[in-house]
Amino acid sequence: RRAPPSQARRAEVVFKLMDGYLKNDSVSLQKAILDHVEFTVARSRFSFDDFEAYQALSHSVRDRLIERWHDTHQYVKRKDPKRVYFLSLEFLMGRSLSNSIINLGIKDQCVEALSQLGFELEVLAEQEGDAALGNGGLARLSACIMDSLATLDFPAWGYGLRYQYGLFRQVILDGFQHEQPDYWLNFGNPWEIERVHISYPVKFYGTVEEEIVDGKKFKIWVPGETVEAVAYDNPIPGYGTRNTINLRLWAAKPSDQYDMESFNTGDYINAVINRQKAETISSVLYPDDRSYQGKELRLKQQYFFVSASLQDIVRRFKDLHTNFQEFPDKVALQLNDTHPSLMIAELMRVLVDEEHLDWNEAWGIVGKAFSFTTHIVVLEGLEKIPVDLLGSLLPRHLQIIYDINFLFVEDLKKRFGSDYDRLSRMSIVEEGPVKNVRMANLSIVSSHTVNGVSQVHSQILKTKVFKDFYELWPEKFQHKTNGVTQRRWIVGSNPGLCGLITKWLGTEAWIRNVDLLLGLRQHAANPELQEEWRMIRRVNKKRLADYIEAMSGVKVCIDAMFDVQVKRIHEYKRQLLNVLSIIHRYDCIKNMKKGDRRKVVSRVCLIGGKAAPGYEIAKKIIKLVHVVAEKINNDPDIGDLLKLVFIPDYNVSVAELVVPGSDLSQHISTAGHEASGTSSMKFLMNGCLLLATADGSTLEIIEEIGEDNLFVFGAKLHEVPSLRDKARDFEVPRQFARVVRMVREGYFGFGDYFESLCDSIEGNGGDFYLLGNDFMSYLEAQAAADKTFVDQERWTQMSILSAAGSGRFSTDRTVGEYAEKTWGITPCKCP
């Protein structure tokens, strides 16, 4: 074989052939699209449909992303700054085409290139399926954070899992939720790059033995099973910058060493089938966003993710460094909730068992590398792993966790003596009939910082959930209020509003510097802006109304107030409270004299969201929405005064349609239960008014835009415990009792089926989420919203002030704070 050409010789050839970067004018794009139709999609240039055009366009865009992505890598590698690794088991990316085109700044050119070929960008964008590799808030936050990290030029990587099945599709049959698999890769995914050469073995099971190296004893883990983790890279472009970072997702493949034994028995076919089982590790996303307790496959996913990511990170570090003391100067490891927290034990194992550092040295490095964010408010939500399960799957890690805990508890004893209650609360290992590892305790003990996702959430962590830890290490506790990216949530999903904002601010700079939105405040009362603002909102409402009609058959009037609650279905989020108030509204209209109906403000109530497949009560709430909707929408007496529609299969791209088209959006969790909430921020940015409880990030929204500019109601955080204590003496308001009775007694049908649902808010000692308690103040807030809606000038002013005050809720601000206060990284802008 001939020797490969030298690097220099190759570079000469490459430069001769290249006439620079790919060009972004419309003719070059057109040529690229046609080339991809012919050679990538393998259809004829002279005949291809919308989907094929989408594929070809996507590949043309992807080529441009890859150039920038290569440049960014090379540049960052040369500069070798400290990088942050954002570790998350979930990323809810949604669609990529429009977002990439916007961030690359080539939208106009693409529109032009396509129009001559007879295609429309908007139509092609609809061809793309959502990448739904996550459940809800936590996962969408990860996606928004990636956009901001790229835009702000931070040297950052995202790591996650490439599930073959994303979050289930919600199909409604006869008003009931059914789950269908989301095999999202069926038609290929142009946004990922398979890196067959980047793969790592990941080990499971086996035993721990000892080896002696240079006279010293070391532990060595002899695995029972090995699978291969293969990298799939997803370039994430920044807006208004060349920087394009990487989201690396791992897929499981059988390893050459996987189960060789079964081949020796001669049953070749079954041995192959067995091997294939390795792939199940990354095959499906767990659809329950709050409990995974005790599932072996889930634990396998976590470790698979952790092990592959850390091998990759360590390899990158070792490319340029030999001394592990420098590791924390180059690497910040961000734990997105406890899901990736096994990486703590894994890093200890790598440093001690493989790199042969001594324990204390390794522990010092771990403590400087990790930071931990929790997204949970209630103690019961925290993740625990049964010791038995952990010990069998990851024997060495269990030993390490025990050792970390032993040293930690010894330390505690020195400080707190024999305060055994405290020690047992703080211990990483929970004693009891089933011994568990408390992943949050492990994360706090091992990280240099811990934070909640809103001000009040962080306060609750300090005073309740992690009180003991706060008393021990007050300096570790920080707060970082969540955000959302205005690139997707205004520029992408609401182009009309984007243009209007730019016109009135006289600059596009707000797309990178969102604080500039404050400049809208001074125009909020300007009738000219108000008029244009309303026009744009109307166009969005029309688009949403068309969608509603297409999917539900219900025709809605766009003069009505579009009142929306879209999010995962949970008792604490209180969709049930919303439905009950809709029943109340219906009941009131029915009992009104005909003449009084003229005063009623028409409403279109939209509710959407998925229920975890095993969450009975949540599923009943979905059914209730449907039966109530059926009754109201078909009541000729009601007409356009009230409509109720369930939006099925709520996901990122549905949100992009719903958010810009709604007038009022509801965020009505019982105070103290929503860690932050992020959809409220999207609605706010789009000039939608909020109807909300004083919970999570709403408190900061109130601070920012003023209480007069949204509708707030309900029990306050400090009142909740005593209200619960006094629940038995609470006299349920007549109106509340009446609507619950209507449900119970079968006014909408299915009375028996809804009995347990009614019991959950009325039964003995029930109503934990205080629906009855908040009902009257909720109705008052609803009435206030009605009253304001009639005064369109006032409403529009509030709408403008909402958008103007939304700058603080951009992930650009969130990420900037993490970079400075938690990760210690600075921008590294690719020239």
* Residues assigned a catalytic role: 375, 567-568, 573, 678, 682
Integer Cα distance of 631 and 600 in angstroms: 19
**Coil, helix or strand for 124?**
helix
Based on the shown chain and the rule CB under 6 A, indicate whether residue 134 belongs to the binding site for ligand CR1: no
**Strand ranges of the sheet holding 331-336, from the earlier edge strand across to the other edge:** 193-204, 225-237, 244-254, 156-161, 83-87, 331-336, 370-373, 449-452, 477-479
Choice from 53, 110, 133, 138 touching ligand CR1 (CB under 6 A): 138
What mask, x for binding ligand CR1 by CB under 6 A, covers residues 337 to 376?
--------------------------------------xx
| 138 vs 801 by CB, closer to ligand CR1 | 138
The dihedral built from the CA positions of residue 503, 507, 509 and 514, taken in this order, carries a sign that is: negative
Strands 711-713 and 244-254: unpaired
Based on the shown chain and the rule CB under 6 A, indicate whether residue 566 belongs to the binding site for ligand CR1: no
Integer Cα distance of 623 and 646 in angstroms: 10
* Near ligand CR1 in 635-674, by CB under 6 A: 674
Nearest to 123 by CA among 100, 103, 98, 93: 98
CB of 677 to ligand CR1, least distance (A): 5
CB of 141 to ligand CR1, least distance (A): 4
The two three-digit tokens of residue 827, written as one number: 């921008």
Choice from 98, 199, 478, 482 touching ligand CR1 (CB under 6 A): 482
625 close to 579: Cβ distance less than 8 angstroms:
yes
What mask, x for binding ligand CR1 by CB under 6 A, covers residues 267 to 306?
----------------------xx----------------
H-helix or E-strand spanning residue 424: helix 420-426
CB of 695 to ligand CR1, least distance (A): 9
CB of 711 to ligand CR1, least distance (A): 20
Strands 216-222 and 91-94: unpaired
CB of 455 to ligand CR1, least distance (A): 13
Integer Cα distance of 283 and 298 in angstroms: 11
Nearest to 695 by CA among 710, 721, 681, 714: 714
What mask, x for binding ligand CR1 by CB under 6 A, covers residues 500 to 529?
------------------------------
The two three-digit tokens of residue 603, written as one number: 């409403």
Integer Cα distance of 826 and 152 in angstroms: 9
* Near ligand CR1 in 666-725, by CB under 6 A: 674-678, 696
Looking at residue 371, the DSSP 8-state letter turns out to be: E
Q: What size, in residues, is the chain?
A: 831
DSSP secondary structure letters along 763-779: STT--TT-HHHHHHHHH
The two three-digit tokens of residue 437, written as one number: 């590892």
CB of 675 to ligand CR1, least distance (A): 4
Backbone angles phi, psi at 251, to 5 degrees: -120, 145
Q: Among the candidate windows 105-113, 133-141, 308-316, 323-331, which touches ligand CR1 by CB under 6 A?
A: 133-141
CB of 313 to ligand CR1, least distance (A): 24
| 101 vs 143 by CB, closer to ligand CR1 | 143
CB of 674 to ligand CR1, least distance (A): 4
**Coil, helix or strand for 760?**
helix
Choice from 55, 132, 136, 334 touching ligand CR1 (CB under 6 A): 136
Question: Over 592-624, what HEC string results?
Answer: CCHHHHHHCCCEEEEEECCCCCCCHHHHHHHHH
The two three-digit tokens of residue 144, written as one number: 């928004």
Looking at residue 821, the DSSP 8-state letter turns out to be: I
Q: How many residues bind ligand CR1 (CB under 6 A)?
A: 16
The dihedral built from the CA positions of residue 381, 444, 471 and 427, taken in this order, carries a sign that is: positive
Based on the shown chain and the rule CB under 6 A, indicate whether residue 137 belongs to the binding site for ligand CR1: yes
343 close to 310: Cβ distance less than 8 angstroms:
yes
CB of 483 to ligand CR1, least distance (A): 10
| 141 vs 350 by CB, closer to ligand CR1 | 141
Residues that bind ligand CR1 (CB under 6 A): 136-138, 141, 289-290, 375-376, 453, 482, 674-678, 696
